[in-house]
Structure 1
């Protein structure tokens, strides 16, 4: 519901007018907003320029978002991570969205600092540089020095930001509901879910204590890397609207000339950066979601400083296990496992599982014979996204955020070192994770846990309530896998029976082959001849069974 109808309707008309201005009136009509679009078009004061008409649609979309204001710029930055939903042209344009904003005078910022500190800034800090280091839509950053002589940075939330964002979020929820109701074409993008995801991300970004906690947690996870620097948080002054952190003096990783003057080891820097990223994603499950060069400083001695933890990604234990299973399925060419992972990611009840499995076979075969360090995991995830897009399936947001971070990190690595290979640092970690996953102790614990759950189910009283399934496609996938399993059991039983016969005949014919006794014709042992022919016959039968089994399996994969 709109809490302030007059202001919200005025703002909604403003947004629609901007969309129409940049040539997206037809999109509003497809959303079922024809009347609103007509009303908004009458409010436009300037016609569409020729320059705008010559722009490609992704360029016009980016310009429209920039004109809508900071909330929508943040939304565009989030949409830039959804590589599963948008084309590469659209992603590249959305990546250009800048969060720069006009500088606010220090006289307007100082009361906010005082309110957050609960005391005049002059009583806490020796001095505060009135000229900001940076100014964004949500916050402004100033350098300061404590009474003890420690250099710090103050990240201050700008006034009125929360109120503006709350109003824009209300409008976004209303627009998402309209799209979901009116447009079958756009419904597949799950607009309401996308807005809820954006709202969660933006609210976390508004609370600076969450950013501070994220930086400390990542610092603890990465404490073994002595060459890595993450700014210390000064909790005695940090609050929801003010983040006080250690000032880090370094060289921006995107300043190539300065790096050359420092004489840094570019290969070592790239390897260290990728080590940090892979450990965060696959081992810790908490990673920097915006690893562009501006958020990294290079320190003397080939050290690295990580900055700005406003946007972080989380991969649950289950998600990390799924990624490891996907990598394993590619190494061992296990089509069914790859298909099962994609079904789990889709969380959809309308999947042609057999068709998906056939397409997964084509995907898996692309990587046949490659070593682990030759398997490009970010590219594998992108291939999976393209495959799921063919079935109108949407990848989970945490996976897409990780994929986007991979892509950004790889671009950053190649900026530091042109022949950078992201997988070089990943191989030992992935091998270690696979070993841990199938370690006997862990398998024993897993079996024990499952046994306890089975016993609990046996003793659990029957429920009259209907069972709710979190994944609608699980029954289809289970039926498909059971069908495949039955085929494999039949194959195994057939091969086992043939093996028993073959071994028996092989022993018998071998004994006949080596025996010196028995009838002879032209001084040639009849039993020896039968033994030779019998051994050759057994070998031919074994080959026949292998060819028949392979052909039957191939036919099932193609059917």
Structure 2
């Protein structure tokens, strides 16, 4: 019986606590977690009676025990509600609701948090070993001389290489942001090597068996054990299909996706730390850089994206002579395995003798073809190869080139492509005003821009383009990047990818033809784009698109004009302007009005309570308890409730 009584008492206490928590949540007016509200209600239930007794005392027996005890219990309940609300507001200030994971989430993520902590310690050891931890404390990454900046850049590169695949990829992406980083850092990060030791052949077989659901022999008659190349994300093996077709298999490293996800989480946390604790981290938008990098790397891990990009580029270049893209095999490819046609030829970096045998004229044609392909992708189709370095271009004995590794591609919308056409056209004509207008439409412009100074700076950069010569394009685009940074303009990731593609492409073109003048070809392409945009067919197509967009408006226009004329003729024409037409504006005004009203009521109730306490106890409700004190306590509780509601709402919006 004692056990049953104890169980019944515990159950009734739990039910009372939950009901009390529901009342507190309702009075507070802001959603909070039930666990937090229940804990506050439990603490307030135990503390309300002693605290209130200390403030106003306890009722004495004066022949009216029921009345005195009833008033006192009512005050205790109201005071408990106020106390619970106060505890919730204090908890919201110290630890905002939702900032801590629940017990189930803690249990599920315990092992992941432990692994991340070990990874944190490893990264901190790497940073400490390279002398980079001082920048985590907010110190500006500056050096007094170019030699010191080079040493700092070298330490950063070595630290990224030690960090693993995600950090190597991050460094490679940062090497394209000349608008954010000094030239010494960019040059050093450009040397990052995305290479790794080969995985054992047995693991390659296991991946093929798992992805195909059958042994590799079911699809292949030959599979080379020695990889053709090994990178941090995947390695490539030569193979032969059962029909005799020679292919290459791009096999993703086992477990690399989990490793990358763990490191991306750390990159995001480090970016948030640098943004909060350093001035330079917030200034360069390091959070946005980390988010864009994470999206790009996750896309690179999905070989289905590369499969679709390769097929799309192959279809667009099918009619282009001298350029090939490997055929893909979707029926044999998965998210972690890509099967492609094996292309003949050698990488440009290892084909110096072959290029020399082709002769200067043929080499110039190959360079012009590669430039035309990339610029055509950028300005017309919108899907372009971002990283066309010499290792991603094969050249055959007859000079035919093949484009490889389309996992890293950029994508441009119609508006961005049109603005790029205007920019390259302005570069071709040397018009600084047109180039400035196109540049402002390409970048993220702040509220205030000194357009006159910007136009003068753009004119200076165009002079670099006009000078021409081998290797001038990279310097000119680097100057354009620095110009953008100096004027506080933000470069969208897609536009930065275009400049990265152009800078990488110039090095490849100079390897094909050391005398290739990319600047002159870009200027010629700009003239061609402007000429193509003013051709009758292009003007007709543009006009047709505009007419299609305006057709619904034009169809309704006569009827609306007739209505306006009729209203004007009969004196019914009026113009109405609706204030606060947007629902969000109305909600804001209503919310501010409610909070202002609650604030006024809280202040009024508080002042009345102070006045009642100052007047005195008043007529006795019971011995030792006056009516004025009871009313003052009630008003004080009401003032606290209203004030806490407003404070909680303000804290929630700020959080």
The answer to whether structure 1 residue 435 and structure 2 residue 531 are counterparts is: yes
Which of the residues 176, 182, 188 maps onto 1:93? 188
Could you say which residue in structure 1 is the equivalent of 2:255?
160
Partner SS, residue 418 of structure 1: coil
The answer to whether structure 1 residue 391 and structure 2 residue 483 are counterparts is: no
Change (3 A) 1:257 1:442: closer
Query: Cα offset for 1:466?
Result: 7.4
Could you say which residue in structure 2 is the equivalent of 1:15?
123
Could you say which residue in structure 1 is the equivalent of 2:153?
58
Query: Cα offset for 1:282?
Result: 1.5
Query: Cα offset for 1:178?
Result: 1.8
**1:97-246 paired onto structure 2 within 5 Å:** 97-246=192-341
Query: Cα offset for 1:137?
Result: 1.2
Could you say which residue in structure 2 is the equivalent of 1:382?
478
Partner SS, residue 200 of structure 1: helix
Partner SS, residue 531 of structure 2: helix
Could you say which residue in structure 2 is the equivalent of 1:528?
none
Could you say which residue in structure 2 is the equivalent of 1:444?
543
Change (3 A) 1:428 1:112: same
Q: Distance in 2 between matches of 1:140 and 1:366?
A: 42
**1:412-491 paired onto structure 2 within 5 Å:** 412-426=508-522, 429-439=525-535, 440-442=539-541, 444-445=543-544, 448=547, 451=550, 464-465=581-582
Partner SS, residue 297 of structure 1: strand
Q: Distance in 2 between matches of 1:137 and 1:282?
A: 32
Query: Cα offset for 1:366?
Result: 5.9
Query: Cα offset for 1:315?
Result: 2.4
Q: Which moved more, 1:436-445 or 1:15-24?
A: 436-445
Q: Distance in 1 between matches of 2:138 and 2:202?
A: 47
**1:461-540 paired onto structure 2 within 5 Å:** 464-465=581-582
Q: Distance in 2 between matches of 1:90 and 1:378?
A: 16
Query: Cα offset for 1:219?
Result: 1.1
Q: Distance in 1 between matches of 2:130 and 2:171?
A: 16
Contact 2:126 2:162 in 1 (8 A): yes
Q: Scaled by the length of structure 1, what TM-score is found? A: 0.73
Structure 1's unaligned 5+ residue stretches are 33-51, 469-559
Which of the residues 3, 26, 31 maps onto 2:134? 26
Partner SS, residue 330 of structure 2: coil
Q: Distance in 2 between matches of 1:57 and 1:406?
A: 27
Q: Distance in 2 between matches of 1:250 and 1:238?
A: 24
Q: Distance in 2 between matches of 1:54 and 1:409?
A: 27
Contact 2:250 2:339 in 1 (8 A): yes
Query: Cα offset for 1:374?
Result: 9.1
Q: Which moved more, 1:74-83 or 1:52-61?
A: 52-61
Could you say which residue in structure 2 is the equivalent of 1:400?
496
Q: Distance in 1 between matches of 2:296 and 2:274?
A: 21
Partner SS, residue 399 of structure 1: helix
Query: Cα offset for 1:298?
Result: 0.7
Residues 374-407 of structure 1 show CA distances to partners (whole Å, capped at 9, x for unaligned) of: 9977655433322221123331222222112111
Change (3 A) 1:138 1:127: same
Could you say which residue in structure 2 is the equivalent of 1:251?
346
CA-atom RMSD, angstroms?
3.3
Could you say which residue in structure 2 is the equivalent of 1:324?
421
Q: Scaled by the length of structure 2, what TM-score is found? A: 0.62
Change (3 A) 1:229 1:182: same
Q: Which moved more, 1:235-244 or 1:270-279?
A: 270-279
Contact 1:132 1:141 in 2 (8 A): yes
The answer to whether structure 1 residue 340 and structure 2 residue 448 are counterparts is: no
Residues 340-377 of structure 1 show CA distances to partners (whole Å, capped at 9, x for unaligned) of: 333333324343x2x23323134226647998999977
Partner SS, residue 58 of structure 1: helix
Query: Cα offset for 1:455?
Result: 6.8
Could you say which residue in structure 1 is the equivalent of 2:407?
310
Query: Cα offset for 1:433?
Result: 2.7
Q: Which moved more, 1:337-346 or 1:219-228?
A: 337-346
Structure 2's unaligned 5+ residue stretches are 1-100, 141-146, 561-575, 586-655
Q: Distance in 1 between matches of 2:167 and 2:250?
A: 21
Change (3 A) 1:226 1:183: same
Could you say which residue in structure 1 is the equivalent of 2:381?
284
Query: Cα offset for 1:304?
Result: 0.5
Could you say which residue in structure 1 is the equivalent of 2:628?
none
Change (3 A) 1:118 1:24: same
Q: Distance in 1 between matches of 2:150 and 2:546?
A: 59
Query: Cα offset for 1:24?
Result: 0.9
Change (3 A) 1:360 1:135: same
Contact 1:363 1:383 in 2 (8 A): no
Q: Distance in 2 between matches of 1:170 and 1:318?
A: 33
Change (3 A) 1:257 1:324: closer
Contact 2:345 2:395 in 1 (8 A): yes
Which of the residues 374, 388, 392 maps onto 1:295? 392
Contact 1:270 1:417 in 2 (8 A): yes
Contact 1:211 1:309 in 2 (8 A): yes
Partner SS, residue 19 of structure 1: helix
Contact 1:330 1:364 in 2 (8 A): no
Higher helix share: 2
Q: Which moved more, 1:191-200 or 1:237-246?
A: 191-200
Partner SS, residue 231 of structure 1: coil
Q: Distance in 1 between matches of 2:473 and 2:418?
A: 14
Contact 1:85 1:394 in 2 (8 A): no
Q: Which moved more, 1:274-283 or 1:254-263?
A: 254-263
